Amino acid sequence: MMTLEKFEEASELVKKVTNPTKLVYSEYLSEETGGKIYLKPENMQHTGAYKIRGAYYKISTLTEEEKAKGLITASAGNHAQGVAYAAKLFGCKATIVMPTVTPLIKVNRTKNLGADVVLYGDVYDDACNRAYDLAEEHGYTFVHPFDDLEVATGQGSIAMEIVQELPTVDYIIVPVGGGGLVAGVSTLAKMLNPKIKVIGVEPSEAASMKAALKAGEPVTLPSANTIADGTAVKRVGSLTFEYAKKNVDQILTVDDDELIGAFLDMVENHKMVVENSGLLSVAALRQLDLKGKKAVCILSGGNMDVITMASIVQHGLIQRDRIFSVSVLLPDKPGELVRVAKTIADAQGNVIKLEHNQFVSTNRNAAVELRVTMEAFGTEHKHQILEALENNGFRPKLVTTKLY
């Protein structure tokens, strides 16, 4: 069982391997919600995520014989690095099975920490089944990423730190994948103060905890297709589910598009890189009435490869009308391109890409197509630019923005 005594033990033990992640007050999110919003930046841990807590505490409870056999786990990346780092500190061999779609940065960092990496399957569940097979074949000790009460106890140390730093916290908002983090945090939070509300947040396309609560037991989703790869879990843990069912007040879901906006907000307003799974807590804020309340969003991780980051930023800018494209038809004669460019410039738009197609019509004198991709300050400014083009005799047509 997860007991207060074990939580206290874990909270002291993990201090040896964790960076202090003091709460960060978010003026921007507080203004947006009407509450006082704080961030728990677990993305600033040495391994880039909270997972080191559970991995280190779990391995500390193993016997010397169990450690000597070598450790194995399955992970989309963050638990992998946690186990690899903790195993290195304890002098154990570690093998990590990761889905083939795991971001390269997570794979390389896991290898750099001394672990052997096996890439297998498309999602965590596939990798987990392979890890069990390897554990049986080689006699390795399995360290489950979430369905393990020692692991969940280690993750719960986050709640201890939150309550110690902000005793009057009203809400703790937690990303949910397999359920280890939310089980540990909610169980300890309720032990320390039953009035604290713990809200779990899942990706809409991988809402395995919500499905489990509805069914009354863990169920396996047909798929878990989301950009929040760290929480793309088709089935929550059976052990941790029982604690989550008892202690979690509500489960919310968030669409991938909302995570894109949250990433942009975090980079621009807090100068922090947080991976998509870690942003679930922030993206869900608008679904809660937090006026006059104190809420802590756990940012569970920050391991995101640069290519994914670039893609998210581009999509976020397009989503918020800060980059958009128009098509205008012009007679093929000198000076028309200049007129379009001047109209956009006078409206303070910034052209970043031009495509000139003379073959849109068989009669080039009648029309050639000009596609313009430009920057704007947002939706209102975008409409001002479109209006300026209309007023100058052009008939702009919005088209899909392609930045490549």
The pLDDT assigned to 187 comes to 98
Q: How far apart are CA 225 and CA 204, in angstroms?
A: 9
What radius of gyration do the chain's Cα atoms show? 25
Higher-pLDDT residue of 25, 122:
25
Same domain, yes or no: 112 and 70: yes
Task: Please check whether residue 95 lies inside any domain of the structure.
Answer: yes
Same domain, yes or no: 91 and 137: yes
Q: What domain range includes position 380?
A: 321-399
Q: How far apart are CA 159 and CA 181, in angstroms?
A: 10
Q: How far apart are CA 324 and CA 400, in angstroms?
A: 8
Same domain, yes or no: 305 and 348: no
Task: Please check whether residue 184 lies inside any domain of the structure.
Answer: yes
Query: What is the band of 185 on the pLDDT scale with cuts at 50, 70, 90?
Result: very high
Average pLDDT (264-281) is 95
* C-alpha count within 13 angstroms, C-beta hemisphere, residue 217: 0
- Contact predicate 296/173, CB 8 Å: yes
- Single residue among 142, 166, 193 that ends a domain in this structure: 142
Same domain, yes or no: 290 and 387: no
Task: Please check whether residue 124 lies inside any domain of the structure.
Answer: yes
Closest CA to 389 of 332, 325, 302: 325
Query: What is the band of 324 on the pLDDT scale with cuts at 50, 70, 90?
Result: very high
Query: What is the band of 276 on the pLDDT scale with cuts at 50, 70, 90?
Result: very high
pLDDT higher than 80, residue 392: yes
Same domain, yes or no: 176 and 311: yes
Task: Please check whether residue 404 lies inside any domain of the structure.
Answer: no
* C-alpha count within 13 angstroms, C-beta hemisphere, residue 281: 29
Q: CATH number of the domain at 128, please.
A: 3.40.50.1100
**Range name among 124-138, 231-245, 365-379 with the lowest pLDDT average:** 365-379
Q: How far apart are CA 234 and CA 208, in angstroms?
A: 6
Residues annotated as catalytic (active site), given as ranges = 51, 300
- Tokens read off for 52: 């080191």
Residue 6 sits at φ, ψ, to 5 deg, of -70, -35
SS3 for 123? coil
Same domain, yes or no: 289 and 326: no
Average pLDDT (349-363) is 80
Closest CA to 141 of 82, 106, 93: 93
Task: Please check whether residue 132 lies inside any domain of the structure.
Answer: yes
Query: How many domains, the chain?
Result: 3
SS3 for 398? strand
> Which amino acid, residue 136?
E
Residues 6-19 have pLDDT tens digits of: 999 999 999 999 99
Same domain, yes or no: 300 and 220: yes
pLDDT higher than 80, residue 358: no
Task: Please check whether residue 233 lies inside any domain of the structure.
Answer: yes
pLDDT higher than 90, residue 342: yes
Same domain, yes or no: 209 and 299: yes
The pLDDT assigned to 76 comes to 75
Task: Please check whether residue 227 lies inside any domain of the structure.
Answer: yes
- Single residue among 271, 301, 316 that ends a domain in this structure: 316
Closest CA to 389 of 340, 333, 337: 340
Closest CA to 268 of 188, 361, 377: 377
- Single residue among 82, 114, 142 that ends a domain in this structure: 142
Same domain, yes or no: 198 and 171: yes
SS3 for 330? strand
Residues above pLDDT 90, as percent of the chain: 82
Same domain, yes or no: 329 and 352: yes
- Contact predicate 135/142, CB 8 Å: yes
Same domain, yes or no: 231 and 280: yes
Same domain, yes or no: 164 and 26: yes
SS3 for 372? strand
Q: CATH number of the domain at 369, please.
A: 3.30.70.260
Query: What is the band of 331 on the pLDDT scale with cuts at 50, 70, 90?
Result: confident
The pLDDT assigned to 364 comes to 57
Task: Please check whether residue 206 lies inside any domain of the structure.
Answer: yes
pLDDT higher than 80, residue 173: yes
86, 199, 304, 312 from 227: Cα distances, Å: 27, 21, 11, 10
The pLDDT assigned to 219 comes to 96
